[in-house]
Amino acid sequence: MDSPREILKRHGLRAKHSWGQNFLGDPDALQAIADALVLREGEPVVELGPGLGHLTRFLAATGAQVTAVERDRDMVAVLEKEAIPGVRVVPGNAATVDFAQVAGAPDIALVGNLPYHLTSPILFQVLAQRAHISRAVFTLQKEVVVRLAAEPGNRDYGLLTVLLGLHFDVEQVLTLEAWRFHPPPKVDSAVLRLTRLKKPRAPLVDEARFTRLVKAGFAQRRKTLINSLKSDKGLATPEVMLAALKTAGIDPGRRAETLAPEEFAAIERALGPVTAMAPPPPDAPEEAVGHDAEE
């Protein structure tokens, strides 16, 4: 198999810095990523951002039905010219695509070497579409994988750690040094595996309220839990929120990073039936977990 440098040269292309393109061509690493997904013959798998098709070849070698979703027109042209057997190439944006629909299957596996600046949007899509995703294996910036796999009480623990942890087993399976990529990024990467649970770790009254509750908890990490949660007045009055914490058995003086997903779920349930909520405050954005490693 030709190296990324050789394939780019053959097609008269260069890696696009603005797209966060860092191509992995190391055979041992690619085989390890494909192995981590544990694909069965004939199983539908969607690869996000296949780039030059290096991982795509290893996925196809398992006998799985590979749908490669690529937004870079130059890379789409490369994949079509390379014509990897058993692979269907679909132009599209990994941050907005319907994974099951593009694969034409109700339940799929998902894999990709994700551009760092698209990490958060894609992970929120995984959460939104989790009913159709049995498992996912992503290559991400190492510090992001450490955060997503962190345990409660760790300073790396955050919003997406909780949201993913409610619905998936989350684990780091591999570290990939920067030199394995072309061009090499300025940081190391790691491989994250998400395995969907048969049911959430804890029941909820309302998924949207749970997400908003967790966002509020982490919006001001240095504050106590009750003070962070009170910052989103649309969730509940301070009195109702304090009562919910008491019902859930959660000390209001704790900080969000110490709560397991099950504890956040207990608070959400304790808030009772859902009523119309005011829009969240503008200072409670979705957590960004990745950035372009070349910046």
pLDDT per residue as tens digits for the range 240-251: 999 999 999 999
How far apart CA 170 and CA 194 sit, in angstroms, is 5
Rg (CA), the chain: 21
Question: In terms of domains, do 169 and 229 share one?
Answer: no
Same domain, 167 and 211: no
d(CA 194, CA 15): 28
Verify that 38 and 177 share a domain, yes or no: yes
For the segment 236-243, the average pLDDT, to the nearest whole number, is 95
pLDDT classification of 291: cutoffs 50, 70, 90: very low
Q: What is the pLDDT of residues 207-230, one digit of tens each?
A: 999 999 999 999 988 899 999 999
* Same-domain pairing of 37 and 151: yes
Confidence of residue 287 (pLDDT cuts 50, 70, 90): low
Residue 87 has pLDDT above 60, yes or no: yes
Q: Are residues 148 and 284 in the same domain?
A: no
Q: What is the DSSP track for 191-253? A: EEEEEE-SS-SS--S-HHHHHHHHHHHHHTTTS-HHHHHHT-TTT--HHHHHHHHHHHT--TT
24 annotated to bind ligand: yes
70 annotated to a ligand binding site:
yes
**φ and ψ at residue 23, rounded to 5 degrees:** -90, 130
pLDDT at 289: 58
User: 23: domain CATH number?
Assistant: 3.40.50.150
Q: Is 20 annotated as a binding residue?
A: no
User: Given the DSSP bridges, would you call strands 65-70 and 133-141 parallel, antiparallel or unpaired?
Assistant: unpaired
Q: What is the pTM of this model?
A: 0.90
The token pair at 227 is: 């003070």
User: CATH number of the domain that 236 lies in?
Assistant: 1.10.8.100
Examine the domain organization and report whether 12 and 32 are in the same domain.
yes
Closest by CA to 115, choosing from 139, 92, 96, is 139
* φ, ψ dihedrals at 178, nearest 5°: -60, -30
Residue that finishes a domain, picked among 163, 196, 229: 196
**Is 140 in the same domain as 207?**
no
pLDDT mean over 44-55:
95
Question: Is 101's pLDDT higher than 60?
Answer: yes
Query: Is there a binding annotation on residue 22?
Result: yes
50 plus 150 within the same structural domain: yes
If you average pLDDT over residues 123-127, what whole number do you get?
A: 96
Residues 82, 277: Cα–Cα separation, whole Å: 52
pLDDT tens profile 130-189 = 999 999 999 999 999 999 999 999 999 999 999 999 999 999 999 999 999 999 999 999
Say whether 113 counts as a known binding-site residue: yes
Q: Is 44 in the same domain as 188? A: yes
State the residue range of the domain holding 91. Answer: 4-196
Residues in the chain: 295
Same domain, 179 and 50: yes
Using the 8-state DSSP alphabet, how is residue 30 labeled?
H
Domain total in the chain = 2
